[in-house]
Amino acid sequence: MDLHFGDSKPTDEERAAVDALLGPPESSWEGADRSDADLRWARGGREARDRRDLLLPGLHAVNDRIGWISEGALDYLCRRLTVPPAEAYGVATFYAMFSVKPRPATVLHVCTDLACAAAGAPELCAGIETRLGLGSGVSVERSPCLGLCERAPAALAIKAGDPVRTAVSAPATVEEAVLAAGSPGSAPEEPPAALAVPQAGQDGLMLLHRVGVVDPSSLDDYRAHGGYTALRRAFELGPAGVIREVTDSGLVGRGGAAFPTGRKWQATASQPDRPHYLVCNADESEPGTFKDRVLMEGDPYALIEAMTIAGYATGAHRGYLYLRGEYPRALHLLEHAIGQARARGLLGDDVLGQGYAFDIEIRRGAGAYICGEETALFNSIEGYRGEPRSKPPFPVEKGLFGKPTVENNVETLVNVLPILTMGAPAYAAIGTGRSTGPKLFCVSGSVMRPGVYEVPFGATLGDVLTLAGVREGLRAVLLGGAAGGFVRADELDVPLTFEGTREAGTTLGSGVVMAFDDSVPLPRLLLRIAEFFRDESCGQCVPCRVGTVRQEEALHRIVERTGADAAGDIALLREVGRAMRDASICGLGQTAWNAVESAIDRLGAYE
User: Are β-strands 276-282 and 316-323 bridged in parallel, bridged antiparallel, or unpaired?
Assistant: parallel
Instruction: Give me the 89-118 binding string for other proteins, x by CB under 8 A, dash otherwise.
Output: xx--xx-----x------------------
Question: In this chain, which of 48, 97, 132, 154 binds ligand FES, going by CB under 6 A?
Answer: 154
CA 578 to chain centre: 27
Measured distance CA(56)–CA(48) in Å, rounded: 15
E-assigned strand segments in 170-294: 276-282
Question: In this chain, which of 139, 169, 405, 584 binds ligand SF4, going by CB under 6 A?
Answer: 584
User: Are β-strands 405-409 and 276-282 bridged in parallel, bridged antiparallel, or unpaired?
Assistant: parallel
Which does residue 549 touch among ligand FES, ligand SF4, other proteins, none (CB within 5 to 8 A, set by kind)?
Answer: other proteins
User: Are β-strands 451-456 and 316-323 bridged in parallel, bridged antiparallel, or unpaired?
Assistant: unpaired
Question: In this chain, which of 59, 146, 157, 512 binds ligand FES, going by CB under 6 A?
Answer: 146
HSE (side-chain half, CA atoms, 13 Å) at 320: 24
Which does residue 553 touch among other proteins, ligand SF4, ligand FES, none (CB within 5 to 8 A, set by kind)?
Answer: other proteins
> Closest distance between other proteins and the C-beta of residue 85, in Å?
4
Is 298:223 a contact under the CB 8 Å cutoff?
Answer: no
Residue type present at position 535: D
Instruction: Give me the 522-561 binding string for ligand SF4, x by CB under 6 A, dash otherwise.
Output: ---------------xxxxx--xx----------------
Question: In this chain, which of 1, 39, 448, 564 binds other proteins, going by CB under 8 A?
Answer: 1
Please say which residue, 581 or 602, places its beta carbon nearer to other proteins. 581
- Which helix (H) or strand (E) segment holds residue 517: the answer is strand 512-517
Residue type present at position 428: A
Contact between 362 and other proteins by CB under 8 A: the answer reads: no
Which does residue 388 touch among other proteins, ligand SF4, ligand FES, none (CB within 5 to 8 A, set by kind)?
Answer: ligand SF4
Q: What is the DSSP string of 429-470?
A: TSB-SSSBSEEEEEEEESBSS-EEEEEEBTBBHHHHHHHHTB
Question: In this chain, which of 6, 163, 185, 433 binds other proteins, going by CB under 8 A?
Answer: 6
Is 302:330 a contact under the CB 8 Å cutoff?
Answer: no
Which does residue 492 touch among ligand SF4, other proteins, ligand FES, none (CB within 5 to 8 A, set by kind)?
Answer: none
> Closest distance between ligand FES and the C-beta of residue 111, in Å?
3
> Closest distance between ligand SF4 and the C-beta of residue 585, in Å?
4
Question: In this chain, which of 362, 539, 561, 602 binds other proteins, going by CB under 8 A?
Answer: 539
Distances (CA, A) of 341 to 47, 435, 535: 30, 33, 39
From first CA to last CA, the distance across the chain in angstroms is: 60
- Which helix (H) or strand (E) segment holds residue 474: the answer is strand 474-479
Region from 2-10, 129-137, 408-416, 559-567 binding other proteins, contact rule CB under 8 A: 2-10
> Closest distance between other proteins and the C-beta of residue 73, in Å?
11
Residue 220 dihedral angles phi and psi, to the nearest 5°: -65, -40
Query: Which of 462, 430, 465, 435 lies closest to 447 in space, CA to CA?
Result: 465
Which does residue 116 touch among ligand SF4, other proteins, ligand FES, none (CB within 5 to 8 A, set by kind)?
Answer: ligand FES
Which does residue 588 touch among ligand SF4, other proteins, ligand FES, none (CB within 5 to 8 A, set by kind)?
Answer: ligand SF4
Region from 41-49, 145-153, 249-257, 291-299 binding ligand FES, contact rule CB under 6 A: 145-153
> Closest distance between ligand FES and the C-beta of residue 369, in Å?
12
Measured distance CA(206)–CA(414) in Å, rounded: 10
Question: In this chain, which of 358, 445, 547, 598 binds other proteins, going by CB under 8 A?
Answer: 547
Strand arrangement, sheet containing 485-488? 451-456, 438-445, 512-517, 474-479, 485-488
Contact between 509 and ligand FES by CB under 6 A: the answer reads: no
Contact between 148 and ligand FES by CB under 6 A: the answer reads: yes
Instruction: Give the SS3 label for residue 262.
Output: helix
Please say which residue, 2 or 189, places its beta carbon nearer to other proteins. 2
Is 438:454 a contact under the CB 8 Å cutoff?
Answer: yes
Under rule CB under 6 A, which residues in 89-118 are in contact with ligand FES?
A: 111, 113-116
Contact between 4 and other proteins by CB under 8 A: the answer reads: yes
Question: In this chain, which of 19, 21, 52, 84 binds other proteins, going by CB under 8 A?
Answer: 84
Residue type present at position 473: G
Residue type present at position 364: R
Region from 57-65, 216-224, 492-500, 536-544 binding other proteins, contact rule CB under 8 A: 536-544
The shares of helix, strand and coil residues in the chain, as percent rounded to the nearest 5, are: 45, 15, 40
Query: Which of 324, 352, 358 lies closest to 338 in space, CA to CA?
Result: 358
Instruction: Give me the 299-338 binding string for other proteins, x by CB under 8 A, dash otherwise.
Output: ----------------------------------------
Is 290:450 a contact under the CB 8 Å cutoff?
Answer: no
Strand arrangement, sheet containing 165-169? 138-143, 106-111, 155-159, 165-169
Measured distance CA(389)–CA(540) in Å, rounded: 10
Under rule CB under 6 A, which residues in 388-417 are in contact with ligand SF4?
A: 388
The CA-based angle 295-297-302, given to 5 degrees, is: 55
Measured distance CA(306)–CA(309) in Å, rounded: 5
Please say which residue, 150 or 245, places its beta carbon nearer to ligand FES. 150
Measured distance CA(296)–CA(22) in Å, rounded: 28
Which does residue 149 touch among ligand SF4, other proteins, ligand FES, none (CB within 5 to 8 A, set by kind)?
Answer: ligand FES
Contact between 541 and other proteins by CB under 8 A: the answer reads: yes
Contact between 545 and other proteins by CB under 8 A: the answer reads: yes
Region from 64-72, 139-147, 377-385, 456-464 binding ligand FES, contact rule CB under 6 A: 139-147
Burial 64-101 (b: 16+ CB within 10 A, else e): bbbbbbbebbbbbbbbbbbbebeebbebbebbbbbbbe
Q: Sign of torsion, CA 44 47 48 49?
A: positive
Question: In this chain, which of 346, 414, 589, 597 binds ligand SF4, going by CB under 6 A?
Answer: 589
Contact between 156 and ligand FES by CB under 6 A: the answer reads: no
Give the interface with ligand SF4 as residue ranges (CB under 6 A).
370, 388, 537-541, 544-545, 584-586, 588-589
Give the interface with ligand FES as residue ranges (CB under 6 A).
111, 113-116, 145-149, 152, 154, 287
Give the interface with other proteins as residue ranges (CB under 8 A).
1-4, 6, 71, 74-75, 84-90, 93-94, 100, 368, 385, 390, 534-543, 545-550, 553, 557, 572, 575-576, 578-579, 581-585, 590
